[in-house]
Amino acid sequence: MRSGEVTRAGAAPGAGAPGGARTPRRGAEPAGHRTATRVPRAPLARLLGAGRRPPDGGSTTARDLTVRRRLLLALSALLTLSLFLSYQGVHGDADPLRTAGAPALLRLDTAQYALTQAERDAGSAAPNSDFQKQISVAAQSLAAAAGEDVGGAAGQQALQTIAGLITMYAVKVQQSQLQPDGDVLRDVYRSYATDILTEPGSGIRARLTALQRQQFHVVRRQTSFGPLLRLSWTVTLLLAAALAAALVETQLFLRHRFRRRYNRHLLAAGALLLGGVAVTVLFTVWTHQGMADTRALLAGRLTGPDITDAERDTASYLAHTGFRAAATVWILIGGILLMALAGTGLRRHIDDYRFRPR
C-alpha cells in the first residue's frame, strides 16, 4: 500500500470534510434555514374560518380580531333566530285567544245557560216572552260562535245542526203550550221537546257540551307553555348570556391591545342586547300570565252573571297582547342592527391589521 493511500474500509468517518465535519445528508436543510413550524388552528378558529395561526413571533392581532368578529356575528344571528321563534311561540296564540278562542267558548257557555233558562220557562201554561227571549239569546250566541270559526268545518256543521234543533225545540214547546190544559197532545209535544233538548248523544245539550269541551281544548292548547317552549327559551337565554360574555371579552381585548377604553359600537350592541332581551322576556311573562289566568277562568262551567264577569276579566287579562305580538318584527330588526354594530365595531381594527401578501 502506497504512502498516504487510505483503503475504503479504513476511511475515517469525517474523511473528505474539512475539520472532520459530517457531510450533510442529501435533502437536509442548511443550518439557520429551518422552516417555521406550523401551528395547528384552534377548534373555534377552524370553525369560524379564521385561517392558520401565524408562525412563532408573528403578529396574531388580525387573526384574533377576525375570530372575535365572526364569533359575535354568529352568536347574534343564532340569538335573533332563537328569540324570534321563542317569542312567536308564546305570542302567536295570544291574539287569536283574545279575539276568537276565549270569546267563542263564552258564547257556547251563554247558549248553554240560555237553554237552561228556556227549559224552565217551557213548562208554562201559555206562550210567554221569557221563553222566546232565551231561545233568541241561544240562537244569537251560536251565530256569534260560528263567526269565531269554532271547531273548523266540523264545528261549523255541528253549530248548524244545533241551531236547527233549537228551532225544532222552540216549535214543539210552542205547540205544547197552545194545547188545552190536560190534552194528550200537550204532553206529547212537551215530550218531543224534552227529547230534542236532553237526548243523550244526539240532543242539543249533548252536542253543545261536546263543542264546549272541544273549544276548551283549543283554549288550553293556545295557552300552553310546554317543554318545547321551555327548551327554546332556555337556549335563547343561554345564547344571550354567551353573546354578552363575548362582547365584554372583546371590549377587554381591545382595551388591552389598543389601549382604547371603550368601543362605542360594542357598547351600543351590549345595550341593545340587554334592553331587547329584557323587554321581550317581560312581554312574554305578562302575556303568559294573562293566558294562564284566562285558561283557569274558563276551565269551570260559567252561568248567568259569571259569564259577563268572565268576558270583562278575559278582556283585562289579554289586554295589549296584540301590541306585544306585533313586536315580533322588531326582533328581526333588532337582530340585524345588533349584527351591524358587532361587525362594524371591529372592522376598522381588522383593516389596519390585515395580513399583506409577501
**325-344 mean pLDDT:** 91
Q: What mean pLDDT is reported for the chain?
A: 80
Cα 342 to the center of its chain, rounded Å: 24
Higher pLDDT, 254 or 358: 254
Q: Is residue 345 a contact partner of residue 266, using CB atoms and an 8 Å limit?
A: yes
Residue 158 has pLDDT above 70, yes or no: yes
Phi then psi for residue 183, to 5 deg, are -70, 145
- Cβ count within 10 A of residue 235: 16
Q: Is residue 324 a contact partner of residue 285, using CB atoms and an 8 Å limit?
A: no
Maximum average pLDDT range among 10-14, 56-60, 173-177, 194-198: 194-198
- Cβ count within 10 A of residue 82: 20
Please give the Cα distance from 100 to 98 (Å, whole number). Answer: 6
Write the pLDDT tens digit of every residue in 232-271: 999 999 999 999 999 999 888 877 776 666 788 889 999 9
Q: How many CA atoms lie within 13 A of 153 on its CB side?
A: 0
Residue 285's identity, in one-letter code, is: V
Query: According to the model, what pLDDT value does residue 262 have?
Result: 74
Residue 221 has pLDDT above 80, yes or no: yes
**DSSP single-letter state for residue 19:** G
Query: According to the model, what pLDDT value does residue 254 have?
Result: 78
Higher pLDDT, 258 or 44: 258
Confidence of residue 353 (pLDDT cuts 50, 70, 90): low
Confidence of residue 9 (pLDDT cuts 50, 70, 90): very low
Higher pLDDT, 20 or 111: 111
Confidence of residue 351 (pLDDT cuts 50, 70, 90): low
Residue 277 has pLDDT above 90, yes or no: yes
> Residue 110 has which C-alpha cell?
251563554
Q: Contacts for 232-241 with beta carbons within 8 Å, 24 or more apart?
A: 232/82, 232/85, 232/86, 232/89, 233/86, 233/284, 235/82, 235/86, 236/79, 236/82, 236/83, 236/86, 237/277, 239/75, 239/78, 239/79, 239/82, 240/79, 240/83, 240/273, 240/277
Query: According to the model, what pLDDT value does residue 358 have?
Result: 39
Report the percentage of the chain scoring pLDDT > 90. 46
Please give the Cα distance from 145 to 108 (Å, whole number). Answer: 7
Write the pLDDT tens digit of every residue in 87-96: 999 999 998 9
Higher pLDDT, 44 or 268: 268
- Which letter, b or e, does each residue of 249-273 get, where b requires 16 or more Cβ atoms within 10 Å of its Cβ? ebbebbeeeeeeeebebbebbbebb
Please give the Cα distance from 107 to 311 (Å, whole number). Answer: 10
Query: According to the model, what pLDDT value does residue 236 have?
Result: 96
> Residue 270 has which C-alpha cell?
351590549
Confidence of residue 180 (pLDDT cuts 50, 70, 90): confident
| Range scoring the smallest mean pLDDT among 56-60, 144-148, 315-319 | 56-60
